[in-house]
Amino acid sequence: MGEAGSVLRVNDEIAIPEAEIEEHFVRASGPGGQNVNKVSTAVELRFNIAGTTSLPPPVRARLRRLAGRRVTKEGILVIRAETHRTQELNRAEARDRLVGLVRQALIQPKRRIPTRPTKASKERRIQGKLRRGEVKRMRSAKPAID
């Protein structure tokens, strides 16, 4: 829908070509009177995660996981923006959301390094359990009759 050869910048290294972004303008739902009935202001942005060449495979996998239900079975991310009353603002919002999702997907999660509890922490845990058991035992003990 944009000019040929233009790109959507994500960061210094990554840009999404306009050819990979598909936009459809549809009528928005909800209140708005005659404007909502006449004008197609809502935008439905589609981005093929599976078929893109602008993102490395690990980023594509993370993006697919982050997007969740917004991704179709074919691997197409669908973003719908309809909060504004103009096409331009809704289009900008949809593109901003796409860029935000891709930026989130660029962050590589840190691998968890499995650790083991220390001997002292195990001992503290056991002592706490023993103390708690003693408190409960004292509550249920029958009072001594003189």
CATH number for the domain harbouring residue 49: 3.30.160.20
In this prediction, residue 5 carries a pLDDT of 59
Average model confidence (pLDDT) across the chain: 83
Q: 27 in a domain, yes or no?
A: yes
What would the mean pLDDT of 8-31 be, rounded to a whole number?
78
Q: 115 in a domain, yes or no?
A: no
In which band, very low, low, confident or very high, does the pLDDT at 7 lie, cut at 50, 70 and 90?
confident
Q: 12 in a domain, yes or no?
A: yes
Q: 116 in a domain, yes or no?
A: no
In this prediction, residue 125 carries a pLDDT of 97
Q: 135 in a domain, yes or no?
A: no
User: How many structural domains does the chain have?
Assistant: 1
Question: Percent of the chain, pLDDT > 90?
Answer: 16
Q: 48 in a domain, yes or no?
A: yes
Q: 23 in a domain, yes or no?
A: yes
CB 82 within 8 A of CB 71: no
In this prediction, residue 40 carries a pLDDT of 75
Q: 73 in a domain, yes or no?
A: yes
What would the mean pLDDT of 129-136 be, rounded to a whole number?
94
Question: pLDDT digits over 69-92, tens only?
Answer: 888 888 888 988 888 888 888 889
The amino acid at residue 13 is E
Q: Which domain holds residue 39?
A: 7-106
What's this model's pTM, rounded to 2 decimal places? Answer: 0.66
